[in-house]
């Protein structure tokens, strides 16, 4: 990786038009590990112009040509897995084991799934004498986050390429180096010039310029709901398509007939994974009121062995949160939980013992949490679990759905029929029953303020396509 201070535009690495830089901080040491250039509106204009010029030709490529391109990207990605894992671990703080086993290969999984999807996808369907055809939406702006960086880059770039779109990517400036490697992969795979473009920068400058640009036909954004609202407002004047995957406050409903040792323990680990920095993390655990104390004891026993440590240490379960701002936010919400009267089961404010530097947070569990508390309402994005008692099934369904978010929900039961019945009541885009294996073909996206549209497989591909009806096309 040798292009940290450059952008990838029109098939070449280029210098920024303005000399502005920002440090990239290792969250485990609070020390800089390098710099990136901060792009300007002029850099975005240059990248969008390249994407616009490349679109007519790329849009006309055949499915076979786009499949061949995706296969070349997979072939170029695989040799860089270890480099990508080390980079992600260092810049966003994921334990190296998690980076190797999940954070990095998940991008490859999306690319492979899109190949499978495209192989079976039909762009044209004849209905009577009307041809329904699906065409690429055009130039796409992509704004991606730092918490699962390669996941979000790949699940936008792969369907856009499969659809025949061209694109400009702005990754998070907090964890940007993995995107540099991704752009090098795209270059090595021979992506046609102008089809994929990378401009580094911050949201108020580069993100705003992409979202408001008149020649960008669609903006796909993943991040906080607050930032998503700003993107939508910036996009409104040009009436472009806005595709968003935003925040979450996911309910984990543990029904009375569940195996509590399994359901509660797995729920704790699901919440704490990636230092709690997952938009679909099961952060609200609902348990029957008469089994609340039992659940609390199991949760405490599950949380206390969690090892918070340096990302490079093999025995670290979780690393730091990503930044000083994130650390301060999490600490503030833990303090709010204590002040508002929630029962602190384990964890609390401050760093774990033995860690005096870095943005490390103590795995924290609150019990007897009531719906009006901030820790029950706000997305914390840290290793903090709220256990909330419920009286009956109708009560838990109301509480689980009583949130402005609707990204994910979880239901645990000893009866699959019981779990299915409750899962249908959840107002969320994805409901996981009894902790299933991850499915790269399932739709991902939310209800309400968790966003609009879906990602992954054919659901993601559809977001990058326009639907055209050609009436009379099939007439004899």
Question: Which residues are annotated as catalytic?
Answer: 245, 279
Around 54, how many Cα atoms within 13 Å sit in the side-chain half-sphere? 26
Say if CB 307 and CB 410 are below 8 A apart. Answer: no
HEC sequence for the chain? CCCCCCEEECCEEECCCCCCEEEEEECCCCEEEEEEECCCHHHHHHHHHHHHHHHHHHHCCCHHHHHHHHHHHHHHHHHHHHHHHHHHHHHHCCCHHHHHHHHCHHHHHHHHHHHHHHHCCCCEEEECCEEEEEEECCEEEEECCCCCHHHHHHHHHHHHHHHCCEEEEECCCCCCHHHHHHHHHHHHCCCCCCCEEECCCCHHHHHHHHHHCCCCCEEEEECCHHHHHHHHHHHHCCCCEEEEECCCCCEEEECCCCCHHHHHHHHHHHHHHHHHCCCCCCCEEEEEHHHHHHHHHHHHHHHCCCCECCCCCCCCCECCCCCHHHHHHHHHHHHHHHHCCCEEEECCCCCCCCCCCCCCCCCEEEECCCCCCHHHHCCCCCCEEEEEEECCHHHHHHHHHCCCCCCEEEEECCCHHHHHHHHCCCCCCEEEECCCCCCCCCCECCCHHHEECCECHHHHHHHCEEEEEEECCCCC
Can you give the C-alpha Rg of the chain in angstroms?
A: 23
Cα(450)–Cα(279) distance, rounded to whole angstroms? 9
Would the CA dihedral through 37, 42, 45, 47 be positive or negative?
negative
d(CA 197, CA 13): 10
Virtual torsion, Cα 456, 459, 460, 463, nearest 10 deg: -170
């Amino acid at each position: 990786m040798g292009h940290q201070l450059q952008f990838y535009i029109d098939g070449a690495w280029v210098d920024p038009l303005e000399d502005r830089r920002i440090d990239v901080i290792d969250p485990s040491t609070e020390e800089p590990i390098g710099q990136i250039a901060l792009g300007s509106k002029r850099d975005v204009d240059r990248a969008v112009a390249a994407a616009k010029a490349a679109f007519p030709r790329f849009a006309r490529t055949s499915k076979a040509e786009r499949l061949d391109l995706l296969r070349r990207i997979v072939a170029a990605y695989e040799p860089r897995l270890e480099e990508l894992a080390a980079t992600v671990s260092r810049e966003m703080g994921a334990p190296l084991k998690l980076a190797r086993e999940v954070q990095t290969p998940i991008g490859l999984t999306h690319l492979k799934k899109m190949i499978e999807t495209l192989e079976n996808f039909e762009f044209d369907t004849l209905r009577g004498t009307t041809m329904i055809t699906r065409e690429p939406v055009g130039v796409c702006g992509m704004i991606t986050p730092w918490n699962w960086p390669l996941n979000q880059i790949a699940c936008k770039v792969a369907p856009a390429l499969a659809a025949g779109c061209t694109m400009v990517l702005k990754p998070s400036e907090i964890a940007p180096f993995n995107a540099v490697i991704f752009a090098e992969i795209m270059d090595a795979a021979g992506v046609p010039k102008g089809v994929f473009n990378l401009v580094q920068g911050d949201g108020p400058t580069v993100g705003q310029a992409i979202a408001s640009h008149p020649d960008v036909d669609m903006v796909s954004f993943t991040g906080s709901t607050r930032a998503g609202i700003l993107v939508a407002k910036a996009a409104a004047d040009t009436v472009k398509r806005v595709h968003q995957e935003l925040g979450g406050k996911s309910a984990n409903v543990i029904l009375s007939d569940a195996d509590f040792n399994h359901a509660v323990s797995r729920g704790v680990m699901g919440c704490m994974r990636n230092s709690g920095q997952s938009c679909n993390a099961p952060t609200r655990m609902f348990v029957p009121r008469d089994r609340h104390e039992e659940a609390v004891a199991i949760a405490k026993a599950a949380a206390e062995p969690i090892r918070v440590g340096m990302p490079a240490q093999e025995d670290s379960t979780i690393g730091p949160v990503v930044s000083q701002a994130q650390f301060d936010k999490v600490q503030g919400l833990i303090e709010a939980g204590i002040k508002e009267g929630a029962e602190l089961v384990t964890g609390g404010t401050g760093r774990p013992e033995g860690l005096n530097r870095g943005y490390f947070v103590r795995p924290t569990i609150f019990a007897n949490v009531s719906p009006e508390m901030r820790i029950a309402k706000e997305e914390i994005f840290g290793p903090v679990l709220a256990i909330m008692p419920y009286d009956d099934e109708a009560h838990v369904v109301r509480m689980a759905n009583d949130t402005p978010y609707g990204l994910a929900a979880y239901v645990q039961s000893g009866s699959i029929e019981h779990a299915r019945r409750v899962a249908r009541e959840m107002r969320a885009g994805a409901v996981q029953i009894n902790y299933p294996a991850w499915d790269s073909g399932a739709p991902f996206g939310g209800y309400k303020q968790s966003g609009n549209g879906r990602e992954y497989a054919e659901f993601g591909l559809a977001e990058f396509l326009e639907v055209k009806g050609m009436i009379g096309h099939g007439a004899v």
